Structure 1
Amino acid sequence: MSEKRLKRKKIKKRLFTKNRLVILNEDTFEEIFSLRLTLMNVFVVATLGAIIIIFVTTFIIAFTPLREFIPGYASTKLKKDATELALKSDSITKRMQENDAYIKSIKKILTGELEYAKFNKDSILTADVADVDEKEMLPDAEELKLRDEVAREDKYNLFEKAKPKVTMVFFSPVKGLITQKFSAKDKHYAVDVALAKNTPIKAVLSGRVIFADWTPTTGNVIIIRHNNGFISVYKHAASMTKLQGDSVRTGEVIALAGSTGEESTGIHLHFELWKDGYPIDPTLFINFE
């Protein structure tokens, strides 16, 4: 026990023995600064300093923007913004791919690379059409009898009120002589109207221009998307007054008549009208002459 006490006393004596730290002038040995220290004081000060440094570092990392300068740490807002930008970029990329596919589909129609039998709704084309025997389309006796009864009822029905069958009125794009009519059999899904050069071509309905560009086969072409699934196409124009993305009103001038493109045989307007992806005869709705 005495040896342990002696060791403790020695350690205690070392810890609490007063020492003086003196700073002297090297040339004159004049005392500049002195400090009375013990090992215990040095230990306590060093421990407190280490604790303060750890506390300050933790506070900086947890609660101040300075942590962004520490390798391995990033701003929460920066991470959130980066995630949102990545999602927007993916969305924009997908939308651009869809638009590119849509424009390529329209260009294929304009250049005649697709056949009528391969048309589908997404590319302003119609689905496969099977050939039907005309004899099978003839009405039988029961159908003829039903038609006759309905006709007689309608003839003497005094309470029937006339209702318009067409809810949309189309504006004539031009006035002129039709040189070639609509013919699905000949795969001519349009009407050709002979015109004088630079005759104004007008929009048949209000809508938005989804294509306005030059093609090798059909020259300057404008395609307008209207409400209720209608799309109008104007080909062989000499020049265009509208660009893709422009909004147009009914009867507004969109181009001037000409004879552009390899397939053009003279100054005329090649006009197409589509409904829900199917070509329809424009003369059913528009009077060109």
Structure 2
Amino acid sequence: MAKKGKKRKEIRRKLLHKYRLVILNESTFEEKISFKLSRLNVFVTGSLAIIGLIALTTLLIAFTPLREYIPGYSSTRLKRQATELTYKTDSLVTALNYTNRYLERIRMVLRGEVASSEVRPDSIYESFKIDPSTVDLRPIPQDSVLRAEVALEDKYNVFQREETSEGITFFSPVSGTVSDPYNAKIKHYGIDVVAAKDTPVKAVANGTVIFAEWTADTGYVVILEHKDGYLSVYKHNGSLYKTQGDIVRVGEVIASVGNTGALTTGEHLHFELWHEGTAVNPANYIEF
């Protein structure tokens, strides 16, 4: 027992033994700062510092955005954003697939190829069709007011004509002489109309510009999309007055007659009319 008591006193003495930490001036050996320390004080102070550091780190992780930078940690907000981005990505992929198929139809028009049944608009829309039962189709008051205003404007529109039994009326795109008629056997899917240079080329019906660019073979080309699955194509233009996405009215000037492209033989307009992916004879719809 005496040995154990003596050993405890020795340990206690070492823990409580005072030490002095002095900071001196290296040149003059002048004492600047001094601390009286013991092993127990150092141990307690170090332990408290470690506990405080752990507590501060925990608070930073739990209550600040710094936790998002820790590998493997995911917040509720990040999960919600990831879910929203997943839905948006799916929608973009669907829209991109439809756009690619639609652009392929436009390329076939530009190349003068008749579209097959696999690329008909009904087959394209079928895969992207929305179930009407899931959509609220009831008109809102603002929609009714807008429809009334549009109907009143159209009543006095000089370009408005009574529609045919097929639901759409076409007008001649340019005044001139037909030099080469439609002939599907030789893959001439349009009508060539000779006219003076810079003669205005007009939209044959209301529609949207879906293509307005330069092509090597047919020069400046404009393609309009109309209702009921119709596309009108204007090739070899001298200049373009509309850009992709523009909404045009029937009779509105969209380009001018020119002689551009490698396949042109003079100043004229090559006009094509397509219905549901298949070229049709424009002379059956328009008086040139």
- TM-score class, shorter-chain normalisation, is 0.5 to 0.7
Cα distance in 2 for residues equivalent to 1:34 and 1:217: 92
Q: Aligned pair 1:43/2:40, yes or no?
A: no
1:8 is matched with which residue?
A: 8
CA contact (8 A) 2:167 2:228 kept: no
1:281 is matched with which residue?
A: 281
CA contact (8 A) 1:229 1:275 kept: yes
Q: Give deviations 1:59-93, integer Å, cap 9, x for gaps.
A: 2333334567x885999678987998899789879
CA contact (8 A) 2:23 2:33 kept: yes
SS in 2 for 1:185: helix
1:156 is matched with which residue?
A: none
CA contact (8 A) 2:220 2:240 kept: yes
Cα distance in 1 for residues equivalent to 2:223 and 2:23: 95
2:251 is matched with which residue?
A: 251
Q: Which moved more, 1:201-210 or 1:7-16?
A: 7-16
Evaluate the alpha carbon distance shift between residue 201 and residue 12 of structure 1 in structure 2; reply closer, same or farther with a 3 A threshold: same
CA contact (8 A) 1:212 1:244 kept: yes
Q: Aligned pair 1:122/2:113, yes or no?
A: no
Q: How does 1:183-194 map to 2 (within 5 A)?
A: 183-194=183-194
Cα distance in 1 for residues equivalent to 2:85 and 2:266: 52
Q: How many residues align?
A: 246
Evaluate the alpha carbon distance shift between residue 9 and residue 267 of structure 1 in structure 2; reply closer, same or farther with a 3 A threshold: closer
Evaluate the alpha carbon distance shift between residue 207 and residue 16 of structure 1 in structure 2; reply closer, same or farther with a 3 A threshold: same
CA contact (8 A) 2:105 2:277 kept: no
Q: Give deviations 1:182-233, integer Å, cap 9, x for gaps.
A: 2333433222223233221100122222222333332322111122211000
Cα distance in 2 for residues equivalent to 1:281 and 1:61: 72
Q: How does 1:91-106 map to 2 (within 5 A)?
A: 103=103, 106=106
For 1:6, give the aligned amino acid: K
Cα distance in 2 for residues equivalent to 1:183 and 1:34: 107
State the shift of 1:105 in Å: 5.7
2:172 is matched with which residue?
A: 172
TM-score of the two chains, using structure 2 as the length reference = 0.66
Q: How does 1:74-223 map to 2 (within 5 A)?
A: 103=103, 106-107=106-107, 109-112=109-112, 114=113, 116=114, 119-120=116-117, 122=119, 165-223=165-223
State the shift of 1:276 in Å: 0.9
Cα distance in 2 for residues equivalent to 1:21 and 1:85: 63
State the shift of 1:272 in Å: 0.8
Cα distance in 1 for residues equivalent to 2:105 and 2:230: 17
Q: Give deviations 1:91-141, integer Å, cap 9, x for gaps.
A: 8799678757755664454345x4x4x6456388xxxxxxxxxxxxxxxxx
Evaluate the alpha carbon distance shift between residue 240 and residue 121 of structure 1 in structure 2; reply closer, same or farther with a 3 A threshold: farther
CA contact (8 A) 1:237 1:255 kept: yes
Cα distance in 1 for residues equivalent to 2:102 and 2:13: 92
Q: Give deviations 1:242-274, integer Å, cap 9, x for gaps.
A: 223333221111111233334333332221111
CA contact (8 A) 1:121 1:276 kept: no
2:238 is matched with which residue?
A: 238
1:54 is matched with which residue?
A: 54
Evaluate the alpha carbon distance shift between residue 209 and residue 7 of structure 1 in structure 2; reply closer, same or farther with a 3 A threshold: same
Q: Give deviations 1:159-181, integer Å, cap 9, x for gaps.
A: xxxx9623212222123333333
Structure 2 spans left out of the alignment, 5+ residues: 122-162
Root mean square deviation of aligned Cα: 4.1
**Percent of residue pairs identical:** 45
